[in-house]
Chain A
């Protein structure tokens, strides 16, 4: 099976712009989670989508949003970008999101905000 893919891999934006990142889960997986990774804060959970519904949400401002499509592909959007949004954004997928399932991570999208 193909692994989790994320596009684009690298992105440069300026403050105030918005950005959309895409994640394609492993075929058959319905749960997609998003994480932000920074040197200062480490890995932080953004949100999880399951069957097109947001099931969990981390402690991020409303500028961070996401959605999931019927084919389980997910997008996350960040509006009004700030310098502090520069990070590696990881997505992960699992079949149903249960504890005993393995979560598979993508390679990440590295976002630089200037």
Chain B
């Protein structure tokens, strides 16, 4: 069965420190992975997707099929990065996503 795990419920780092939010998945097919973010009192929104190999707001994520991981990284965390982050896997076709439980990132001044 398709499954996405995010082992950390809460991650606290200091401003300027590197941050890595972990995501592991289980999927029998060819996965499409995404990171979504929800800032305080805002809607859930797409941060980045692995097929685009993009860097958004300084965040990057690399799909590692061998380790079935899609960790989100940023070299220097900013206070405005504090938010809830969800890793998601899209399977089949259309917009059918499996979301992880989320990690709350808190960037301390």
Contact = CB atoms under 8 A, between A and B. Distances in A.
A43 B34 CA distance: 14
B62 interface: no
B99 A58 contact: no
18 contacts: A31-B94, A31-B95, A35-B99, A43-B86, A43-B97, A43-B102, A45-B97, A45-B99, A48-B94, A55-B93, A56-B95, A92-B95, A99-B32, A100-B51, A100-B52, A104-B45, A105-B45, A106-B43
B43 A56 contact: no
Contact of B95 (A42, A103, A106): A103
Contacts of A74: none
Interface of A is mostly: strand
Interface string B85-109: 0100010111111111110000000
Interface of A: 3, 31, 33, 35, 42-45, 48, 50, 55-56, 58, 90, 92, 94, 97, 99-100, 102-107
Task: Choose among B44, B52, B86, B99 the residue with the greatest number of A CB atoms under 10 Å from its CB.
Answer: B44
Please name the 3 residue pairs, one residue from A and one from B, whose CB atoms are nearest each other, closest first: A43-B99, A56-B96, A97-B94
Contacts of A106: 43
B53 to A, nearest CB: 12
Interface residues of B, number: 21
A112 to B, nearest CB: 20
Contacts of B10: none
A14 to B, nearest CB: 29
Contacts of A48: 94-96
B45 A45 contact: no
